[in-house]
Homo-oligomer: A and B are copies of this chain.
Amino acid sequence: MKAVALGELLMRLSPEGHKRILQADRLEMTFGGGEANVAVALACLGEEAAYVGKLPLNMAGEAAFSFLRRYGVDTRHVVRGEGRMGIYFAEHGASQRADRILYDRAGSCFALSRPEEYDWEGIFAGAAWLHVTGITPALGEGARQVALRAIAEARARGVTVSFDPNFRANLWTEDEARPVFAEMAKGTDVLIASSDGLSLFGIPPAGTDEAACRLAAEEMQKKYGIRTVALTMRRCVSASRNGWRAMLFDGAAHYSKEYDLCIVDRIGGGDAFAAGLIYALGKGMPAQDAVEFAAAAGALKHSEEGDQLLASREEILSVVRDGSGRIAR
């Protein structure tokens, strides 16, 4: 199955270990972005995964581009042009200290890109899935149109659309986001969200409450005609430890087992879950298997450095079977 993920890829700069930027004189450079993370994880799982976005024609864009290629992502439809690369700085928290993130993405060439720059025909040739998130429409008028156009193009071709409605308060207001999210939700087949992240749709945080999660999913299904709703249920103990499980709702609610996470890097945990889910549904796994696979994928990501899950199907399945970290030699 060929999946397409469209969104911004950012350069990520993080101090080593648990240092603050204030203390650091060295930053680890990697790249990340909700949608690109999904593409990388799918490519590592052996799927055909295309990333679509725009990268600048300079050293930073070159490095971003090669980052995607490194993990086997199809980059043929990445637009290249003038402009700047979006950047984000991330400090790894621990214990009671939360991760801190500083976005420096305003005016990036992706944010300023327009629908006409993309080769929609080529992008969707042979594609069965499109993944988008709530970040793209928050980046500006251009990006918003790109996101909406992508959904429209996908639907016109019968391509399944998954949507992660994450809201970034530093990019736009709830009032700005609400109608856009509603429009995107209407074009969505599979909604992938945090159980606390549906407030823009008028749904209170469901936390780790099974019944509340089920209700939330039912409401999204009813209101927007969304076939499948997948919610991650995170129990925040500290920045180092979280409980983690998920629910998949397709009329019935299917809950995964819960993982007790010792967190290495939590960024991208939701994207890994999304990738796991897309993979599982794409492979036709039964709902219970699919939610277990996706939850294990998300759990695994928390043990990896960087934004992306770089695991094989076999490794994820071994976590489904036994998450106790035994070495196999």
Query: Hey, which bits of chain A sit against chain B, CB under 8 A?
Result: 13, 17-30, 58-60, 62-63, 66-67, 69-72, 84-85, 87, 89, 91, 93-104, 106-107, 168-170, 236-241, 259-266, 296, 299-300, 302-306, 310-311, 315, 318-319, 323-329
Contact: A325 with B26, CB < 8 Å? no
Among B17, B102, B240, which residue has its beta carbon within 8 angstroms of that of A305? B17
Among B93, B103, B311, which residue has its beta carbon within 8 angstroms of that of A303? B93
Contact: B304 with A97, CB < 8 Å? yes
Among B21, B30, B319, which residue has its beta carbon within 8 angstroms of that of A63? B21
Sample of 15 further A-B pairs with CB below 8 A, known A103-B329, A238-B325: A22-B59, A25-B25, A25-B29, A26-B26, A69-B71, A84-B104, A87-B104, A94-B264, A95-B259, A95-B299, A96-B296, A96-B323, A100-B328, A237-B324, A239-B262
Contact: A327 with B27, CB < 8 Å? no
Please, which residues of chain B bring their CB within 8 A of the CB of A98?
318, 325-328
Contact: A236 with B22, CB < 8 Å? no
Closest chain B CB from A240 CB (angstroms): 4
Closest chain B CB from A227 CB (angstroms): 29
Closest to A69 in B: B69
Among B96, B100, B310, which residue has its beta carbon within 8 angstroms of that of A20? B310
Among B96, B241, B310, which residue has its beta carbon within 8 angstroms of that of A299? B96
Knowing A59-B100, A239-B303, A323-B96 touch, does A29 contact B26 (C-beta < 8 A)?
yes
Contact: A323 with B25, CB < 8 Å? no
Contact: A262 with B94, CB < 8 Å? yes
What's the Cα separation between A185 and B243 when bound, in Å? 45
Please, which residues of chain B bring their CB within 8 A of the CB of A261?
95-96
Contact: B95 with A303, CB < 8 Å? yes
Closest to A65 in B: B72
What's the Cα separation between A264 and B266 when bound, in Å? 17
What's the Cα separation between A58 and B101 when bound, in Å? 10
What's the Cα separation between A329 and B29 when bound, in Å? 20
What's the Cα separation between A20 and B22 when bound, in Å? 19
Contact: A329 with B170, CB < 8 Å? yes
What's the Cα separation between A314 and B286 when bound, in Å? 47
Closest chain B CB from A13 CB (angstroms): 7
Knowing A95-B261, A96-B300, A261-B95 touch, does A325 contact B239 (C-beta < 8 A)?
yes
Please, which residues of chain B bring their CB within 8 A of the CB of A170?
329
Closest chain B CB from A275 CB (angstroms): 16
What's the Cα separation between A327 and B305 when bound, in Å? 17
Contact: B237 with A303, CB < 8 Å? no
Contact: B101 with A329, CB < 8 Å? yes
Contact: A327 with B266, CB < 8 Å? yes
What's the Cα separation between A241 and B325 when bound, in Å? 9
Closest to A98 in B: B325
Contact: B89 with A20, CB < 8 Å? no
What's the Cα separation between A318 and B107 when bound, in Å? 31
Among B66, B70, B260, which residue has its beta carbon within 8 angstroms of that of A238? B260
